[in-house]
Amino acid sequence: MAETEYEDREEDVRSADRKGGPGHTVLLAVAFAVPVTKVAYTVGGGSAARDVFVGMEPANWPDVLIGMVLTDALLASVLAVVVSRVVFALFAARGAVPVKGGFLRSVQRAALTVVSPVSMAVVVACFFGLWWGLGTGLAAYALRKGVVVEYRTGRRRPHRHPGRRRPAPADGSYRPSPVLRRAAALEQWAVLGLSALALPALSFAAALNGQAWTGIVRCEVTAGTHTESNRLIELSRKGDGVVGWNLDTREISNGAGCVGEESLYVREPWWRD
């Protein structure tokens, strides 16, 4: 009975890995819901949000999520860790991680485990500084290492696709230290906490903080024969001017002679409003 329960648990874990782990669904939800929430809250929702998305054009819609990530160090770090773990779990479930010993396999395994965390660390460090990058890289590596330990000890096994040869068995000679075994056992809980709790909370906090997702510029806006200076949330650039959401007249406007402003705040955060 206990063995059957263990096999069922192992199959559940493999099934989750094949779908990218627990962060897969959350990432999709964040990618769709959070940018819409950001725009709707920042400009006031309703027809204003619709006008903004039409003015941005579909090709520029991802700019909302990118802008949010590039202005929030903690959100960027957590997102980088979750993405790194999701991608690694997806490929590990398909047999991309060698489980046996040997020097070449060890090198391959180390490269697969380290390359993505290092790249994530470099990207985060470029935008937010060395310590943010270092923390992101170490967290991403720790979660990937937990996946490697579980596949090498046999607690998880790669999924066997129909028509393909059976996946390599676990390396029976591999005996991780007690500390590493405990860390690997906590890996699923850590991923669940980051992907199901921390990432959604940070994403919606960033969506409701009252800041624009892109630069705010002060431009000369002409309506008929009248020209005045207005603040615009930049949506796109057309020639030597800017197309943006006019914060003063609450409509899409074309601005010329634009100068960037330092503050990105448009309104009070949701929790103070």
**Do residue 88 and residue 121 come from a single domain?**
yes
**Do residue 41 and residue 126 come from a single domain?**
yes
Q: Using the 8-state DSSP alphabet, how is residue 227 labeled?
A: E
Residue 225 lies in a domain: yes
Residue 25 lies in a domain: yes
**Do residue 57 and residue 178 come from a single domain?**
yes
Residue 37 lies in a domain: yes
What is the pTM (predicted TM-score) of this model? 0.79
Residue 15 lies in a domain: yes
The total number of structural domains that make up the chain: 2
DSSP string, 153-217: HTSS-----TTSPPPPPP-TT----HHHHHHHHHHHHHHHIIIIIIHHHHHHHHHTSSB-SS-EE
**Do residue 6 and residue 88 come from a single domain?**
yes
**Do residue 190 and residue 238 come from a single domain?**
no
**Do residue 164 and residue 181 come from a single domain?**
yes
Q: Using the 8-state DSSP alphabet, how is residue 59 labeled?
A: G
**Do residue 150 and residue 54 come from a single domain?**
yes
**Residues 6 or more apart whose Cβ sits within 8 Å of residue 272:** none
**Do residue 75 and residue 35 come from a single domain?**
yes
Tens digit of pLDDT per residue, the chain (273 long)? 444 444 444 455 444 555 455 566 788 888 889 999 999 999 988 889 999 998 887 778 889 999 999 999 999 999 999 998 888 877 777 665 665 666 676 777 777 788 889 999 999 999 999 999 999 999 999 888 777 766 666 555 555 545 454 444 455 555 555 666 666 667 778 888 998 899 999 999 999 999 999 999 999 998 878 889 999 999 988 777 899 999 999 999 999 988 989 889 999 999 886
Contacts 24+ apart (CB under 8 A), 218-222: 218/258, 218/259, 218/261, 219/244, 219/253, 219/255, 219/256, 219/257, 219/258, 219/259, 220/255, 220/256, 220/257, 220/258, 221/246, 221/249, 221/253, 221/254, 221/255, 221/256, 222/254, 222/256
Residue 268 lies in a domain: no
Residue 105 lies in a domain: yes
Domain residue limits at 166: 2-207
**Do residue 160 and residue 228 come from a single domain?**
no
Residue 248 lies in a domain: yes
**Do residue 62 and residue 127 come from a single domain?**
yes
Q: How many CB atoms lie within 10 A of CB 155?
A: 16
Residue 267 lies in a domain: no
**Do residue 128 and residue 229 come from a single domain?**
no
